[in-house]
Structure 1
């Protein structure tokens, strides 16, 4: 089969249009730069005698309009290619761009549904709903949700397995037909192959799942740790505040990459340092949720008995199974059966495997994943702590805090149910930004070989693998690099939109 071209059957009509749009944008951009150098500016609005405002466009305004409409024309042509790729039946007619658009069909459907429902009910959705009154926020939301839906529907979107290799497709150019592979494979490598014959497009898709599995969860844990320590430090002050602030500054002064290199050294891993760090960091969210529930419902014993205590016990079991791989129910069952059936071969087998069982309750975090997760939480927590502490120092002087103190409310109730809700705006914005920072950090770790797994499809390791042959074969590292860039850009724009809308309250 012949390799695919980029634009398929519509390229004859749309390629010249896209090319002229690029030329017009470059020419208008250079003209705008030249006019800025000589001091020309946009025209000022004119106030008419009837107090209406009109605009008389100047050369700078026309240059900006040309740039604006050139971008619209280019993006419109891409959108036509994507829609045509969904509608056209053959790979050759779709081309690479149309083929990519067709593979992302579940994502387009989910994006359209989320936008329609969010805009329809935006007045009932609080700060999230106000986001759809902000163009920047909507663009950021769209980019972030695009990659989130990509991670969710990754098996439906990817054309091949993340680690499947076809020897004949090593360093294959985008659109190459698969030759020498197993029967039933997708007929093309849409974005080419890497140096091992793996599909670049599929690795990019599965890489989104790895990044968006770790980054939000690690950021959430970092926030819970930072909030748990920052609230009492800012509200109560004293020696506790001094000690925690000193430790936070000490961690922030430590080079991040050096910290990761230390944590992955065999001596540190064998000494169990990552497990000890996980034991300390992961218990703080459990404490946070218990104090949150107890401080709110301490006057309602039935809720404490039937809601707060069971939730806390379940979280403790989850904590033990995740950090220590220990499930007390399984351990007691195997011990009891071994005691009753001494000498029984089944009993002996269960006794010998008791220390290597899989807990029924717990999240399997093994190998480098635990190290990466703990390190990301450890690095981000001090920054979150300082933000929370600063917000608490400001909010605790407000009148509603004094009113709660006058009512006789306890310190933890005031911190968690009076101060924390009123700090949610800056914290939500920082949470979105910090997911982006964590994504970049995970990519950096993968680039340096400190990621989850050298064989994994995470974007950082994929970029690192492709950089050695970048001059000869630029296509393997570019898709994950662009994916990383657009995800972080979307999160930053989303945070900007949320910040602007929260300031209007």
Structure 2
């Protein structure tokens, strides 16, 4: 698989692995603590502070490394929860059809008709500022997109002969979903997972920038952009570093996702030719 991987996908995979490495080993890599004030406000990069300091005198590099841990963890957990909800409901709607499909699809359409950011801002402004609430809100909103994709994929697989044969054998819905549909839908759903993860990173950063995501003093990239945005007026580039981290992570994930999608299409074409 890696021998046929294009250069763009390798670059993307390297970028993702790099940020995952930073997130996992943040306490060992970061030169200073996450909330430790170590110098003056908005110091320029030096040998002591490689990226300078932020609006409170904290080391930007350390905050960036700890922010990778926070951002990737919340984005990953919310995406996993979204996929659990979206795949279960999407597969159930595709297999059972009838009124179950209609009820679930219309509820999903109702949620998708509300602008995602506005919905999240309204809910998070009312509910307590807890981490699990933030993750749950992000997961529910992402699950609506996952539902549509998983239902469409499962609907195509559900009409296959081997699925009909399983129904005639008397297999239950759970067996059909887990043994017949899920293995054959894994490739497109894996690509969709990467895409949803990238959107989760951007969505979390937007919420933190607006003050309803990760709360201070915890570090996350969107919050770091918010904290240091005023420095841009004075020529201080402290807000550019977390912004660049968000952009490079999103691009890296998209490069890998594009490769997975192309690979999935090639596999389908090869099977059809056979």
Matches within 5 A, 1:307-386: 367-386=129-148
Alignment of 1:210 with 2:210, yes or no, is no
1:243 and 2:128 correspond: no
Note the 1:69-468 alignment, pairs <5 A. Answer: 130-135=1-6, 136-166=8-38, 168-175=39-46, 188-265=48-125, 268-269=126-127, 367-468=129-230
Cα RMSD (Å): 1.5
Cα shift at 1:258: 2.0
The residue number in structure 1 matching 2:272 is: none
The answer to whether the Cα contact below 8 Å between 1:191 and 1:475 also exists between their aligned partners in 2 is no
TM-score w.r.t. length of structure 1: 0.51
Q: Cα offset for 1:469? A: 1.8
Contact 2:231–2:238 under 8 Å retained in 1: no
* CA offset digits 1:96-143 (Å, max 9, x no partner): xxxxxxxxxxxxxxxxxxxxxxxxxxxxxxxxxx24521232221111
Unaligned runs of 5+ in 1: 1-129, 177-187, 271-366
Task: Tell me which of the two structures has the higher relative contact order, counting C-alpha pairs closer than 8 angstroms and 6 or more residues apart.
Answer: 2
Alpha-carbon distance, 1:397 to partner: 1.4
CA distance in 1, matches of 2:152, 2:75: 25
- Report the structure number with the largest CA radius of gyration: 1
1:66-86 Cα offsets, whole Å, 9 max, x none, are xxxxxxxxxxxxxxxxxxxxx
CA distance in 2, matches of 1:400, 1:137: 34
CA contact (8 A) 2:205 2:223 kept: yes
Name the TM-score, length of structure 2 as normaliser: 0.92
Contact 2:42 2:236 (8 Å CA) reproduced: no
The CA distance in 1 between the partners of 2:136 and 2:3, in whole Å, is 35
Question: Using the alignment, how far apart are the partners of 1:483 and 1:410 within structure 2?
Answer: 46
Q: CA deviation at 1:368?
A: 2.7
Which aligned segments of 4 or more residues in structure 1 are displaced greater than 3 angstroms? none
Count of aligned residue pairs for this structure pair: 266
